[in-house]
Chains A and B, each alone.
Chain A
Amino acid sequence: MFKHLLSIRFAAAVLVAISLTSCEKETTTPQLRKTIDYSTLTETTPYSSLFVDETGKTTVDLSNGNNRYKMFQALNTYISSSISGNKQVDAAVLKNMFGNTGNAFADSTKLNTSGVQLRNVTASSWSTTEAEKVRAYFETYFTLTAEASKSVTATAAKGKAGKLGTYLVDERGIEPIQIIQKSLIGAMQYDYIGNVLLTKGLDADNSTLVSGKNYTQLEQNWDEAYGLLTLNQVYLKGSTDATRGTTEFALGSYIWEYNKGAYAKIHPAFLKGRAAIINNDKAELKKQADFIKAEIEKALAASALGYLGPKYIAATTDAARAHAIGEGLGFIYSLRFATVNGADAAFSDAIIKALVLDSAGGFWDLTPSKLTAASDAIKAKFKL
């Protein structure tokens, strides 16, 4: 019986190899797990509950994704708390957190020994040369933040770094912390989830277990994506348009805030995709991956629009305006990874340049016409 199965598996593998180039044909690969009936999945099915092996042992392992999520959170907390406590930021600490070197995280988190880092998955869908440029961009911003934080007790003004309200801005009125945080949402979270794990990652092996683990590489890829989006078993459980039902961070919270039409469908899509992996249902898997990517990109674009538009216009203080623009600039940077919509570095950079780099005053020289031009470019690209 076992032999028989193996030979079927082999035959199927050959079949797959033959039909790889054809995208319409339904293919069969050897199935490792018991088929899951899609109808058993509900909006509130916990992510880890159904995906088990024949002995009932879980095949889900969210640790890699969750550990990167926590590193991002820790990095963000370190800069934010420094500023709120009027303390200088140390660029070396940030670099260590980014690359998981020098035991940068608290021992209790066990992140130092987790074996993962943020740096090597940042812009990792790009060539090494291009990816290194993005990583260097962040490291430059770590230095700029540290530099600006020397003025943490001063009040900022045009041409002068310091604090506006509770926010640290550089001499152009740009808030480096927001640039880092919102750019990482695209360059690290979305690029790794959308362009790596849910694109190339879908071609990973699904017929053999990774050595020493209870999952296939494909299963792990999907789990890493989910684990990098949220720490919760049911993403956005119990959320309404007005109130978020779970604690989410970074990308996970912006999908809720800026994609009201789809946030509730993200968890079901992750469940269905994971079930499709178990069922060897490649077509279904790709459908779910494509859906998740498209909806995340929509959220990223809408976030940028939200900060350039309503949040900036409605702000009544320089501090609130600078904060909105800092967030917006970070999201615009992130849009370069929105491959579904055909955005790229040139697209993002042109918008950022016209908004705040062409004029020496940066943020302080912003006008409604500059903001409108940026919004219009984003709307056109993302068909919003």
Chain B
Amino acid sequence: MSATVVRYLPYIVVVNFLLVATLLVVLGRLATARPLKELPDGRQNAAEAVLDWFVAQARSIHPESVTLIAPFLATLFLLILFSNLLAILPVPILNIPPTSYYSGPLALAVIAVVGVIVICAKMRGGRAAVKHIFWPNPLQLVAEASHTLSLSLRLYGNIAGELLVASLATQAAPYGIPLIIYTLGLIPASVQPIVFTLLTVNFLATAVPAQGQPRGHPGGPIARAP
């Protein structure tokens, strides 16, 4: 990257995030432009296919709060996925994924962790949310901070690492090899949003226990490891 690009990188990250967000809003509007039908077809079918997985995850956490949890998970997933996929665009400035600069993943991780607490407060009340942060001891606060760090570092490390390898390969062998590296880069770019969302689901499942189940044992497909 040239010195000018490095200098303006924080602004580029924000602009790229905004572009991705705008694109997602436009896609969302397009998918729901026509009146929704009971038997979906076309765009509505595609949108429902995307949302299906999030609805299933939300249902496994708390079946009555699907409308609260599923949009949160879907927003995080789609924003990260489309941000990562910016790397394959053949446009110079636009192809810097916002998730390859540490501020981007950190912001997403803070949103995820704070969002979990806000959803907990909405579903179980403010006292329960405070109890979730400080129970069984105030050191739980450190755990919340470490969740933020681990979520953000994982995403940042994968995407920035992939980009670094691609740029090194481009310097070493400009033709052919970078194509392979970029193609392989699609794997972490599509797996990392899943991992980020699944870990958020895990945090949510411990913060909001399913009805009739003890705290910390959410049941469903992603039970927390003992």
A, B from the same assembly: no
B interface residues with partner A (beta carbon < 8 Å): none
